[in-house]
Amino acid sequence: MSPHVLILGGTTEARELAAVLAACPGVRVTTSLAGRVNRPGALAGDVRVGGFGGAEGLADWLREQHVDALVDATHPFAEGITLNAARAAAASGVTAVVLRRPGWLPGPEDHWHMVPSLPAAADLLPRFGSRAFLTTGRLGLAAFAHLTDLHFVVRSVEPPEPPMPQHTEVLLARGPFTVADETTLLREYLIDVLVTKDSGGAATAAKLTAARHLGLPVVVVRRPQLPEGADAVPDVARVLDRLGINSP
Ligand code: NAP
């Protein structure tokens, strides 16, 4: 019988994995999206959209749809669905793999300040100046809302949600970005400090290189920990290894 693989998606890696699995003869692949993004783009294989109703709902779905393997390829900061995936896989006896792109690492010329959360990032900001570039996503801006003396430039794919800081300029854009463009942006907006999550990946890493070239401090929010016992791999090839699937 052909194996059915459910990918929890919302990332570039999930899209790549869906394309590879859909090209494997005899493999059925379904990608699940949360439904947060308006135009998610075409995906290979089947697609379902929307929450499952917690870990129990996901476990039911795995059983009902005869899923053989679950690949959690969600964003490194999508903590809730990752926990649900681990619980649901354990409850239903389905093989589970977590696909996580590696985090970023600072070099000797970087001025990074690692913090555990967005509120901790907000606590640090005033010491670096008055103009911050926030690339932490459209949610969570409330953590910075009390910093009324600072000016924020916020970049996100979809419009950010209030509450947000009083002095906020929004730039809607989707990566990848080049180092030249990021350098121009940091200069033109007179940025004193960059704030980012440790999302990893090449598409949005150019801002870190640009900040290094300009000698700017970067506040980096650490990733949440993976659930205990999670089988995490860094790329699509290793997911295939784990699932025992040969790509054509
Ligand atoms: P989250 O806080 O971990 O998840 C909240 C709830 O959304 C989950 O409990 C689940 O609802 C639903 N959900 C999340 N991902 C889902 C998926 N792939 N398929 C079906 N339901 C899903 O997640 P989040 O941080 O809001 O992220 C939502 C999605 O956006 C993720 O799929 C992630 O890959 C993508 N994303 C997130 C970020 C980020 O910074 N967090 C950045 C880029 C992309 P139920 O409990 O009802 O099942």
Paired with 195 in beta bridges are 134, 219
Q: Are strands 193-197 and 217-221 parallel, antiparallel or unpaired?
A: parallel
Q: Which fold has domain 4-101+225-243?
A: Rossmann fold (3.40.50)
Both structure tokens of 182: 């990021």
pLDDT at 1 over 70: no
DSSP helix/strand/coil, 41: coil
pLDDT at 164 over 70: yes
Integer Cα distance of 29 and 23 in angstroms = 10
Q: What is the pLDDT of residue 62?
A: 98
Average pLDDT over the chain, rounded to an integer? 96
Average pLDDT over residues 31-45: 88
Which range among 32-36, 53-57, 109-113 shows the weakest confidence by mean pLDDT? 32-36
Same fold, 4-101+225-243 and 112-221: yes
231 CB-side CA count, 13 A: 14
C-alpha separations of 120 from 143, 166, 208, 223 in Å: 9, 19, 20, 13
Tell me, using a 6 A CB cutoff, whether residue 91 lines ligand 1. Answer: no
Burial class (CB in 10 A: 0-12, 13-18, 19+), 197: buried
DSSP helix/strand/coil, 56: helix
Integer Cα distance of 232 and 239 in angstroms = 9
Residue bearing the CA closest to ligand 1, atom 25: 78
Q: What is the pLDDT of residue 103?
A: 97
Average pLDDT over residues 32-59: 92
Average pLDDT over residues 158-166: 93
The H-assigned helical ranges of 6-73 are: 12-22, 54-64
Confidence band of 105 (pLDDT split at 50, 70, 90) = very high
Confidence band of 35 (pLDDT split at 50, 70, 90) = very high
Tell me, using a 6 A CB cutoff, whether residue 53 lines ligand 1. Answer: yes
CB 220 within 8 A of CB 212: no
pLDDT at 248 over 80: no
Q: What is the pLDDT of residue 236?
A: 97
Both structure tokens of 141: 């801006």
Domain boundaries, given as residue ranges, for the chain: 4-101+225-243, 112-221
Residue bearing the CA closest to ligand 1, atom 42: 75
pLDDT at 37 over 90: no
Mutual orientation of helices 12-22 and 236-243 as an angle, nearest 10°?
Answer: 50
CATH number given to 112-221: 3.40.50.720
Which of 8, 61, 81 maximizes ligand 1 atoms within 8 Å of its Cβ, making it the mutation to test the pocket? 81
Ligand 1 center from residue 36 Cα (angstroms): 8
79-97 pLDDT, tens digit each: 999 999 999 999 999 999 9
CB 94 within 8 A of CB 231: no
Average pLDDT over residues 33-60: 92
pLDDT at 39 over 90: no
